[in-house]
Structure 1
Amino acid sequence: MDAYEQKALSELASWIKKVNKKSGKFERVSKQVQLKVNSYIPSRVHKVISESIRSMVGAVLSGSKYISKEKNVMLLSLQQKEEWVKEKVTSHRRTAVIEGVGTGAAGLLVGMVDFPLLLSIKMKLLFEISRLYGFDPNEYEERLFILHVFQMAFSSEKKKMETLRVIQEWNRGNHPEINWQDFQQEYRDYIDVVKMFQLVPGFGAAVGAYANHHLLGQLGETAINCYRIRLLSSKE
């Protein structure tokens, strides 16, 4: 294991510790407030989110939408792979910010368009990250892993810990299917509060830019650590 891999392993250990850390009082109160706010979000917004997620899960599992060719990375070191991965995260973050500003500035009707667009940006990023780490999303198991990474990034504390265990067991052949109903509920509960403010005309532009920048950054960090688990577990 080279110096970069040792550093990555240390960062991974810190990330896993953070995921497994029980939330404090502030986080629990925030969750209660979030659930209350969710009840005020228009039902048509919930419907758009649910349908977008259902379509996205179907597209990922069928491999019908996000497959693309990437550079040959088989001979690259982990450091070289992750330099490219971080470039991809930065690029998609920039795209998501521009998209968030545009849809957030328009209010409710156009703002709802942000949900499927942002999902598409996130999934495209995950497919590209998968290839950059040397995995092939043409394979069903890899597409399934991508959905677990997504769920790891945007779910409740309890679900994050459950999904982490799945990811840690992945190399041993444990590949559970995704329940899309649970998947979409976790995602909705995670992002609804911020996204509700994005639907406010004018004010929503700033919120949309910040939210999309934050969400893409979180997805990138989660993906990096999930793939590190698979690549570094055999080197410990």
Structure 2
Amino acid sequence: MEVGNIEAYEQRALSELASWKKKVDKKSGLFERASKKVQIKVNSYIPAKVHKVISESIRGMVEAVLSGSKYMSKEKNVMLLSLQQKEEWVKETISTYRRTAIIEGVGTGAAGLLVGLSDFPLLLSIKMKLLFEISRLYGFDPDEYEERLFILHVFQMAFSSEEKKMDTLRVIQNWNTGNHPEINWHDFQQEYRDYIDVVKMLQLVPGLGAAVGAYANHHLLEQLGETAINCYRIRLLN
């Protein structure tokens, strides 16, 4: 690949990164604020059993990530690849995992309440495996504790409130300085639950489950992929 093409791609990546940061920093409008109020109200009606499944799934996922188990993937040699080549591979990987999540969402959404609840831990596993793959494709080693901690911050960046997104973005922007704060478990699981509860609850409604499951999982994987790409761009292009 020619040097000029490499530089042009990195300039485009920097421009896309700047646009993404502006989107993250954008204050929510009236509709979004109203939706948040509705979400808080709806959360109060969600059965305790559902909240328990979500919380236990998230706790198990966090513990698995920090211990370095379960999500390890086959190592790929990307050391000699340009950023463009890495990101072509990353985007293909995101597409593959997104298709898997859609199929899983349709299946569990169509099967009713009890099976529908199983979507939460299954989808979490798909998301984390994707992030481990992306980490390796960008040339980082998730065998290292700091990289697994970074993965959790990326996850939190994707699925949290505006205020928490800005706090997490500052952490990510300062990551290369060696400042690697631990994850607050309570905040982490609460932010994720609040973020996905309304749309995922619709997945448990008879007649809506399959369609909502497909849409929700597509959207959540798309958002996670975009967030991961830009978080790793911050580290590589700073």
Please indicate, yes or no, whether the TM-score normalized by the shorter chain is above 0.5.
Answer: yes
Within a 5 Å distance, the mapping from 1:149-168 to structure 2 comes to: 149-168=154-173
What TM-score does the superposition give when structure 1 sets the normalisation length?
0.98
Alignment partner, residue 106 of structure 2: 101
SS of corresponding position for 1:67: coil
1:171 lines up with 2:176 in the alignment: yes
Deviation string, structure 1 residues 167-215 (Cα, Å, up to 9, x no partner): 0000001100001111000000000000010001231100000000000
Q: Answer whether contact 1:106 1:202 (CA < 8 A) is retained.
A: no
Deviates more, 1:76-85 or 1:17-26: 17-26
Q: Establish whether residue 230 from structure 1 lines up as the match of residue 232 from structure 2.
A: no
Amino acid at match of 2:89: W
**Any unmatched runs of 5+ in structure 1?**
none
Question: For the residues of structure 2 that align with 1:49 and 1:134, how far apart are their CA atoms?
Answer: 32
1:142 correspondence with 2:164: no
Residue 29 of structure 1 corresponds to which residue in structure 2?
34
Q: Do residues 74 (structure 1) and 79 (structure 2) align?
A: yes
Shift of 1:69: 1.7
Aligned residues: 233
Q: Deviations over 1:30-60 (max 9, x none)?
A: 1001111111111100000000000000000
The one-letter code matched in structure 2 to 1:174 is N
RMSD: 0.7
Q: Higher mean Cα deviation, 195-204 or 121-130?
A: 195-204
* DSSP 3-state at the match of 2:28: coil
1:1-236 pair list within 5 angstroms: 2-233=7-238
Provide the identity percentage.
86
CA distance in 1, matches of 2:26, 2:219: 21
Counterpart code for 1:206: A
TM (norm. structure 2) is 0.97
- Deviations 1:44-83 (Å, cap 9, x if unpaired)? 0000000000000000000011111232000000000000
Gap regions ≥5 residues in structure 2: 1-5
The DSSP-based 3-state class of the residue aligned with 1:2 is helix
Distance between the aligned counterparts of 2:156 and 2:55, measured in 1?
15
Q: What secondary structure sits across from 1:142 in the alignment?
A: helix
